[in-house]
A and B are shown apart, each in its own frame.
Chain A
């Protein structure tokens, strides 16, 4: 299994509070991703990174920010959590070979915003 960990694994917080989720990899892969998973929507891309300090928005980036100061760590921050951000968050990594991109996923973080 790819070496990807996420912390915390579960978190309950209140509306309006800041929250930071951490993704840590030991594979030295260049690309890292944050997805959210909601029933009926599959996985939707929030933000991704293609290198240290290089990040870009995905399809559902509003209300989220990211940072990547080291290859191994990719942080997702909810500046002011809302109930609509209650979800399961997955981190993924990839090291595209040629033209294609196989992603490896972390175990997920279940976030509940009350």
Chain B
């Protein structure tokens, strides 16, 4: 069965510092991968997605993620974090040819001044 692991429950970074959030997945076929962000009291918003092609994908708000098949990873990065990036981030894998999505447990990002 497919699964998603986000090893870090929470991360704290300084404003202006770089960020990397880790995500590992388990899926037998070519995965469809997503990163969502959830601000406090809000629903989830899609940051970026990977289906095929270039393994480095660009998203909204200056985020990018890199798909590494050999490591079963899809890590999220941002070169310079802003205080407004403080939120919870969810990695997810979608069924190939299906319509269900499996979410990781989430990583909460704290940004300090």
Which residues of A line the B interface, CB within 8 A?
4, 31, 35, 40-45, 48, 50, 58, 90, 92, 94, 96, 99-108
Distance, CA A44 to CA B99, complexed state (A): 14
Which residues of B line the A interface, CB within 8 A?
4, 6, 9, 32, 34, 36, 41-46, 49, 51, 90, 94-101, 103-106
Which residues of the partner chain B approach A42 to less than 8 Å between Cβ atoms?
A: 4, 6, 90, 103-106
Q: A41, A43, A105 — which one has the most chain B CB atoms within 10 A of its CB? A: A43
Distance, CA A105 to CA B41, complexed state (A): 13
CB distance from A24 to the nearest CB of B (A): 14
- Extra contacts, 6 of them, besides A99-B97, A100-B51 (Cβ < 8 A), are A42-B6, A44-B103, A99-B96, A102-B49, A103-B46, A104-B46
State which of A50, A90, A100 has its C-beta within 8 Å of the C-beta of B94.
Answer: A100
Sample 23 A-B pairs with CB under 8 A, ordered by A number: A4-B43, A31-B99, A40-B9, A41-B105, A42-B4, A42-B90, A42-B104, A43-B90, A48-B100, A58-B100, A90-B43, A92-B44, A99-B51, A100-B32, A100-B51, A101-B94, A101-B100, A101-B101, A102-B34, A102-B49, A104-B46, A105-B45, A107-B43
